[in-house]
Structure 1
Amino acid sequence: MNATRSGWALWGDRLLLAITVLVAILWFLPVLWVVTMSLKPNSELMRSTWGFIPYPFTLQNYADLVRLATVPRWLTNSLIVAVGMTILVLVVSSLAGYAFARLQFPFKRTIFVLMIAGLMIPEQAVFLPLHQMFADWGIHNTHAALMLPRVAVPIGVFLMMQFFRAVPRELEEAAELDHASRFTIFWKIMLPLSVPALTTLGLFTFIHAWNDFLWPLVSATNANMYTVTVGLASIQGNFAQTQGLGSIMASAVFASLPIVLLFLIFQRFIVAGVAMSAGK
């Protein structure tokens, strides 16, 4: 009986692995197709876009993209916004998460409910008041305007709160016996322990900031303040009419490459952080 169950379990594992591989292939094929088209001459793509082998091979589409004088500026804007937003989100989420997990203060439950309710409000629903508020402040077409609307992230606060709740209270009590202040406990004990959670939140925040399109499109009306997503989208119409489909695919790959590299470098931290959060 046990042998039969082991056999069924083995076949179940193999079936699950086969389905996972199939889904991964189906997901990867469009990505491979885009990369292939970006490496083909536009004259060849006018005849056919089919095929996963870039033959004949060319880097001209990427060369035409890099030669645009505004592309380095757009990349710099995206980097400033993504890094700045990531730092601010980590600071706000870690402080708020620790407060909800460990501190007692008036209206704590009410504030927490209001924070979680923010997850149910589509970000597009607040674009009009945000745009009007930033216009009154006169900060549109600045890096601050691109970062500030995404600083308070309810899911980030909830993630950090769940992590801090799982840390044994004995660690804090031991520090209190040594007359450590609340901020010292947070800074020297809790924060170092939360590196996996902070890394996961930071990576997801950076990816979201880098890929964000709608708010930069609304807030940045000056071409010099475009992020890379808005900037490349603004020139795709011209590329489609002049350079062709290969240049559009090259711009898509160019915008996605930093995120892919970031994920490949930090993927073990992402997996560990997600597994940790799910387990807790």
Structure 2
Amino acid sequence: MNRTLTDRLILALVVVAAFVWMMPMLWVLTLSLKPNEELVRSTNGIIPWPRTLEHFATLLRVSLTPRWLLNSVVVALGMTAATLLLSSLAGYAFARIDFPGRRAVFLLVMAGLMVPEQAILVPLHAMFADWELHNTYFSLIAPRLAGPMGVFLMTQFFKAVPRELEEAAELDNAGRFKIFWSVMLPLSRPALTTLGIFTFLFAWNDFLWPVVTATQPEMYTLSVGLGSLQGNFAMSEGLGFLMASAVFASAPMLILYIVFQRYIVQGIAITGGK
């Protein structure tokens, strides 16, 4: 009985905390659906009345917004796919292949976590400028592929997989790559899903490097493009337009989390318990 009461109290606290956490998002959505005339008078309340979609229509009328959305999708998907491939290969090598200097190389990779992004921004910019690669998808994706956290996550996951599975595959004359591709990779789906979602989220919201390497409006990502619109349209279009921009940029991430939340929780639980 006491345990049931405790569980109900915990559930109630979680519901309250979730509601408090969602309030800012509901408020932003409300403001994006209110006419500017109403927003001038008051920004209170979470029920939009009267309602309008004019702010979203104005956002989509901006000619380059669909291109920015396409750029973000290409960059996020490309970065996610490449990160999953590189991190899983490196993680498997560190976890299962006993090569000379493995520990030293792993520590060197992990040292990348201690290097702040701002410290390498100038040399990175100069390098891509010398190669004349700015304003390309390659320049938007490539610098973000050096992901020590992804390598660490996959290494920890592969270390926890029983070696008996590999030994059984070796008895069937499976080579190293076939063991990785046919045995280890399917088992790592929860960890890969978690890493993929967080990588996609990071790529979608990334602002600092894209604003440096993308100097032509046609190559802006959605975060950079909407940021430029805030400066150009904020005074003329009002608060509702800014809130519509925020909703437009964050909606894909919210949908992604809702669809894959089971895998996120499962992946964190599995990798965190090893």
TM-score normalised by L of structure 1: 0.95
Within 5 Å, which residues of 2 pair with 1:32-71?
A: 32-71=26-65
Distance 2:69 2:268 in 1: 29
Shift of 1:238: 2.4
Pair 1:116 & 2:105 matched = no
Unaligned runs of 5+ in 1: 1-5
Report runs of 4+ in structure 1 exceeding 4 Å deviation.
none
- RMSD in angstroms over aligned alpha carbons? 1.2
Within 5 Å, which residues of 2 pair with 1:163-242?
A: 163-242=157-236
Q: Which amino acid aligns with 1:217?
A: V
Match 2:101 to one of 70, 91, 107: 107
Superposed CA offset, 1:25-72 (max 9, x none): 211111100000000001110111111110010000000001111001
TM-score normalised by L of structure 2: 0.97
Q: Which amino acid aligns with 2:140?
A: L
Distance 1:124 1:50 in 2: 38
Tell me if structure 2 keeps the 8 A contact 1:239–1:245: no
Distance 2:18 2:37 in 1: 31
Q: Which amino acid aligns with 1:162?
A: Q
Distance 1:253 1:51 in 2: 17
Superposed CA offset, 1:230-273 (max 9, x none): 00010112221111000000000000111111111111111111
Pair 1:156 & 2:160 matched = no
Q: Which amino acid aligns with 1:261?
A: I
Distance 2:260 2:5 in 1: 32
Distance 2:13 2:120 in 1: 40
Residue 52 of structure 1 aligns to a residue whose secondary structure is: coil
Shift of 1:219: 0.9
Distance 1:240 1:173 in 2: 63
| Residue in 2 that maps onto 1:253 | 247
Counting aligned pairs with the same residue, the percent is 62
Distance 2:115 2:102 in 1: 21
Distance 1:176 1:70 in 2: 54
Q: Which amino acid aligns with 2:184?
A: M
Shift of 1:93: 0.2
Unaligned runs of 5+ in 2: none
Distance 1:109 1:279 in 2: 22
